[in-house]
Amino acid sequence: MDIARLHFLVAEANTAERMALATMLGTFGALQITQTPDGFSAMRLVQDFTPAIDVALIDLALPGMDGVELIRQLAARDPHVRLLVTGAQSDNMMFSIETLAQAYGVDLLGTLSKPIDQDKLQALLANYAPPAFPPLQPDYPAFSFAQIAQGLHARQFEPFFQPKIELASGHVTGLEAFARWRHPEFGVLGPSAFITALEQNKRMDYLDWSMIEKSVERCRHFHDQGIPISISINLSPVTLAHPQFMQQISACVNRHGVAPDYITFEMPESSVLVSDPDFIERLVRLRLVGYGLAIDDYGTGRSNLQLLARVPFTELKIDRSFVDGASRNRALSVVLSSCLGLAKSLDRQSVAVGVETRRDWDFLQGLGCTYAQGYHIASPMAAEEFPGWIEDWQQFF
């Protein structure tokens, strides 16, 4: 981060404290610093000032429009500005402010209790990253369900694999399969091109069985290459509910000579934590045979802890929204620690999804997380790329 290129706003009613903050920013190398003593002018400056404000330091006790109202107003207008909130309140109250900002979707660098510590301020500013560009429009048309079904029938869909790493040792312990469509005209397409149409037509089972068959086949192929790796496969509850599911999955693993222990089925938290006895029985039967079960996207739903304790899952996969940035955001780190503690207390493995940086990796190691996945390790890759990738990874570790 080149702090000299950033434009800072210091919104603080107290003149001495405002000047002190501006001086601190200057010692860090900031050259563009705008000051204001009240919330209304802060709002106008963030919205209309040229050059645009990159980072706004706002105090909770601003006159006119206080810091809480300013957070809400900024969230509603979605300006490309990072906030850093200061206040004379307790650490617990500042933690609640962080939680509020997160709920509003504000891009928050952090909070600081007064008096402001210069080192803490500099550490929070180090979290600054340039705003992300809006996603590009896809360069492919909206596919109909019939076109997607035709692609599945033509075996154009295949699993790409993302490694799962044991944090304590760095060992590659598994792969998660991600569906990709090798379209003959538009190249490799991700789930945004086909998931919605399949869900709307209630035929996720078409995709599930294609991924199950090909993932188990690849698992056998990896084993034959001397790579005894496990594979996790996303599974729709609708597919699991089919009366013949157990027979079909048994036939699949037997056909390819893969033991159930090497296959884990992943299902989202919202679909797993139910009290339907038929559904729970199917989960139990999968575990009795030896398949692993993972609760995916954990933390995004409203968990019933009693049900969670009763479901025979083997892994708790913590959603990326609690992982990415947890090392620099206290609110996220508390939630992440809670999820990891829950997994440990239930004697389950924990998997952090969305590990994007070395800092995330080190932070998760310190918290005792079992496994990690994310772009810091590797992007999902075609099956033929994996043997070369794991050879490089093993040399690195």
Q: Look at residue 74 and tell me whether its pLDDT is greater than 90.
A: no
What is the pLDDT, as a whole number, of residue 19?
95
Q: Which residues contact 388 (CB under 8 A, 6 or more apart)?
A: none
Task: Report percent pLDDT > 70 for the chain.
Answer: 95
Q: Look at residue 133 and tell me whether its pLDDT is greater than 70.
A: no
Q: Count Cβ atoms within 10 A of the Cβ of residue 43 and give its class: 0-12 exposed, 13-18 middle, 19 or more buried.
A: buried
Using pLDDT thresholds of 50, 70 and 90, give the confidence band for residue 134. low
Three-state SS for 368?
coil
DSSP assigned state of 381: B
Using pLDDT thresholds of 50, 70 and 90, give the confidence band for residue 91. confident
Q: Look at residue 51 and tell me whether its pLDDT is greater than 90.
A: no
Determine which helix (DSSP H) or strand (DSSP E) holds 23, and give its type and residue range: helix 15-28
Using pLDDT thresholds of 50, 70 and 90, give the confidence band for residue 140. confident
Q: Look at residue 187 and tell me whether its pLDDT is greater than 70.
A: yes
CATH topology of domain 3-125: Rossmann fold (3.40.50)
pLDDT digits (tens, 9 = 90+) for 250-275: 999 999 999 999 999 999 887 877 77
What is the pLDDT, as a whole number, of residue 327?
81
CB 164 within 8 A of CB 176: yes
Q: Look at residue 88 and tell me whether its pLDDT is greater than 70.
A: yes
What is the pLDDT, as a whole number, of residue 250?
97
What is the pLDDT, as a whole number, of residue 328?
74
- Angle in degrees, CA 236, 389, 158, rounded to 5: 30
Q: What is the mean pLDDT of residues 348-362?
A: 91
Q: What is the mean pLDDT of residues 75-85?
A: 84
27-41, 89-103, 242-256, 339-353, range with the lowest pLDDT: 89-103
CATH 3.20.20.450 fits domain 145-396:
yes
- Pick 69 or 106 by higher pLDDT: 69
Q: Where are the domains of the chain?
A: 3-125, 145-396
Indicate the average pLDDT of the chain: 91
What is the pLDDT, as a whole number, of residue 348?
92
What is the pLDDT, as a whole number, of residue 132?
60
Look at the alpha carbons of 207, 213, 218, 219 in this order and tell me if their dihedral is positive or negative.
Answer: positive
pLDDT digits (tens, 9 = 90+) for 301-353: 656 677 777 788 999 999 888 888 788 777 778 888 988 998 999 899 999 99
Closest listed residue to residue 193, CA positions, set 133, 147, 158, 155: 147
Per DSSP (E only), the strands in 280-335 are 292-298, 315-318
Starting at the earlier edge strand, list the strands of the sheet with 7-11: 32-36, 7-11, 55-59, 82-87, 108-113
Q: Look at residue 78 and tell me whether its pLDDT is greater than 70.
A: no
Q: Which residues contact 378 (CB under 8 A, 6 or more apart)?
A: 162, 163, 389, 393
Look at the alpha carbons of 140, 144, 150, 151 in this order and tell me if their dihedral is positive or negative.
Answer: positive
Q: Which residues contact 23 (CB under 8 A, 6 or more apart)?
A: none
Look at the alpha carbons of 382, 385, 387, 391 in this order and tell me if their dihedral is positive or negative.
Answer: negative
Look at the alpha carbons of 138, 214, 235, 379 in this order and tell me if their dihedral is positive or negative.
Answer: negative
